[in-house]
Amino acid sequence: QYVVVWFRRDFRLQDHTALYYAINEVKKSGKEWLALFHLDPPEHLKGSPHEDYFFQTVSQFKQRLKEKGIHLHILTGEMEEALNKLKKELPSTSDLYVNLDRVGEGAKRDERAKDICESLGISFHGFDDAYLTAPDQVVKGDKSYYKVFTPYLRTWSKIQKKKPVRLSESEIVAAAANVPVIDEKSERVFQSVLKRCSTSWPLLGEKHALEKLEEFLVGKINDYEQNRDYPELLGTSQLSPCLKVGTISPRTILFRVFEKKDTKGREAFIKELAWRDFYHMIQYYNPDCKELEVRNEYQGFNWNQDKNLLKSWSEGKTGFPIVDAGMRQLKKEGWMHNRLRMITASFLTKDYLIDWRLGERYFEEMLIDYDSSSNIGGWQWAASVGTDAVPYFRVFNPTTQSKRFDKKGEYIRKYIPELRHVEDAFIHEPWKMDEKKQKEAGCLIGRDYPAPSVNHHIQRKKAISMFEEYKNVQ
């Protein structure tokens, strides 16, 4: 009989909860296990950078398994169709092990998968794996969920986290089933999807993700608190893409971090992992939050839907260098530093007053570390419509942010070549250069680099009064 492990955002062999329990079952029962990946019908795919990164990771994992003599079987089509196919081709499939999605479409899919398995006579085993705590684990005394992060963090910190689970390579390999490819056609479809994929962000498999963690622990964690806000310093772990595709588990990160000296940097880093769990929990209790503001008093807010402004923002042509540098990094690399995510999201929602949902969707397409909970949480935070969000009257000033977090304009110059030769004194406000300076810098404002598309001070006032008027009407 076969125990199937369905991989979906967990492309690793160590500290993989579903695999660990599947192998334990196999050892007890004498069954064999096999690895499965379900590929959505290609017509549902968008060809976005986020998908490209994901499929390339799957391919890399497939290769890694192959080197161990294990085949990662691919089944495409609707999920129902794929599970039926599995049972038809391998009638002795007895169990399906899977790390669950608890929010969004993935959670709905898992509910359906459970029912289908039941109807096919397959035992379905689901596990919480992708976060340090389950979304319904950190609750108040009266079992309601936390809406504010600080008290959430207090309870979260007291909860004993699950330790990483380990399997030896020989345990994994010995029990692997040697069955012929289940569906040649699906394998071909996967290869054709893969041919279209390209990514400029380093593709890290499990081994390199662990190395990246060690690099961060040796060189950066102690200064994390001071450095994390300065994009040019690269003081953060950059592990978000690995967490997204699961080449590393959050438990592996946390327990390695626990082994380090207790510093402010360590504390600040653990807090970020808690934010990740917090937003996951918020999405779990607010399943409509991709469309609806968690603070329901702001639902129905009259956001701007201007396509031209949205385009100038997404292309990095707003005329505000720090915003444009962030957006160009996103377009070029599929990743953006947290400070820049806050600045660009604030700019779209408060300076352009554009609907946060449009920004959220654009990030979804472009970010290779796209995580619906963190992205929605981050956008609702910046737009002041989420739980524990930035207050609507504290509007980020892009120029002040730029002067503070990219003092010498190094980050700006890296992503905006037109501004490369602009003096430090004007790098944050190039529109202040007179004609002579513009010529010297080889950058004519309005020709080589856009003039500011809006007046921040006017827009700030507009944003605040829109929020206030809306509140009064409600």
Query: Would you list which residues are annotated within the binding site for FAD?
Result: 224, 236-240, 269, 272-279, 369-371
CA gyration radius for the chain?
24
Under the binding rule (CB under 6 A), the answer on residue 131 touching ligand FAD is: no
Under the binding rule (CB under 6 A), the answer on residue 272 touching ligand FAD is: yes
**C-beta of 289: minimal distance to ligand FAD in Å?**
13
User: Of 17 and 238, which CB lies nearer to ligand FAD in the complex structure?
Assistant: 238
Residue 94 contacts residue 212 (beta carbons within 8 Å): no
Number of residues that bind ligand FAD (CB under 6 A): 27
Under the binding rule (CB under 6 A), the answer on residue 239 touching ligand FAD is: yes
In the shown chain, the binding pattern of residues 299 to 338 toward ligand FAD, with x for contact by CB under 6 A and - for none, equals: --------------------------------------xx
**Exactly one of 76, 314, 375, 438 binds ligand FAD (CB under 6 A); which one?**
375
Q: CA 107 → CA 97, 112, 244, 288, 292, distances in Å?
A: 15, 9, 16, 13, 18
Angle at 140 (CA atoms; ends 136, 142), nearest 5 degrees: 105
Under the binding rule (CB under 6 A), the answer on residue 345 touching ligand FAD is: yes
Q: How far apart are CA 453 and CA 469, in angstroms?
A: 25
Under the binding rule (CB under 6 A), the answer on residue 363 touching ligand FAD is: yes
Q: Which residue has the tokens 């976005």?
A: 48
Under the binding rule (CB under 6 A), the answer on residue 24 touching ligand FAD is: no
Residue 368 contacts residue 49 (beta carbons within 8 Å): yes
CB-based closest residue to ligand FAD:
378
Which residues lie below 8 Å from residue 117, measured CB to CB, with a gap of 6+? 83, 96, 123, 124
**Exactly one of 76, 186, 237, 247 binds ligand FAD (CB under 6 A); which one?**
237
Under the binding rule (CB under 6 A), the answer on residue 369 touching ligand FAD is: yes
User: Of 235 and 319, which CB lies nearer to ligand FAD in the complex structure?
Assistant: 235
Under the binding rule (CB under 6 A), the answer on residue 405 touching ligand FAD is: no
User: Of 127 and 363, which CB lies nearer to ligand FAD in the complex structure?
Assistant: 363
Sign (positive or negative) of CA dihedral 228, 230, 231, 233: negative
Q: How far apart are CA 347 and CA 433, in angstroms?
A: 23
Q: How far apart are CA 440 and CA 97, in angstroms?
A: 64
Stretch of 12-20, 84-92, 236-244, 293-301 lying at the interface with ligand FAD (CB under 6 A): 236-244
Which residues lie below 8 Å from residue 223, measured CB to CB, with a gap of 6+? 235, 265
* Catalytic residue annotation: 272, 275, 303, 338, 356, 379
The burial class, CB within 10 Å (0-12 / 13-18 / 19+), for 446 is exposed
**Exactly one of 17, 99, 240, 438 binds ligand FAD (CB under 6 A); which one?**
240
Stretch of 41-49, 106-114, 271-279, 419-427 lying at the interface with ligand FAD (CB under 6 A): 271-279
**C-beta of 372: minimal distance to ligand FAD in Å?**
7
Q: How far apart are CA 74 and CA 83, in angstroms?
A: 11
Under the binding rule (CB under 6 A), the answer on residue 273 touching ligand FAD is: yes
Neighbours of 460 (CB within 10 A): 17
Strand 32-39 relative to strand 123-127, pairing: unpaired
Q: CA 425 → CA 309, 320, 355, 430, 437, distances in Å?
A: 28, 15, 33, 9, 11
User: Of 54 and 97, which CB lies nearer to ligand FAD in the complex structure?
Assistant: 54
Under the binding rule (CB under 6 A), the answer on residue 370 touching ligand FAD is: yes
- Annotated binding-site residues read 224, 236-240, 269, 272-279, 369-371
Under the binding rule (CB under 6 A), the answer on residue 282 touching ligand FAD is: no
Contacts with ligand FAD in 212-231 (CB under 6 A)? 228
Note the residues at the interface with ligand FAD (CB under 6 A): 228, 236-240, 243, 272-273, 275-276, 279, 337-338, 341-342, 345, 363, 367, 369-371, 374-375, 378-379, 382
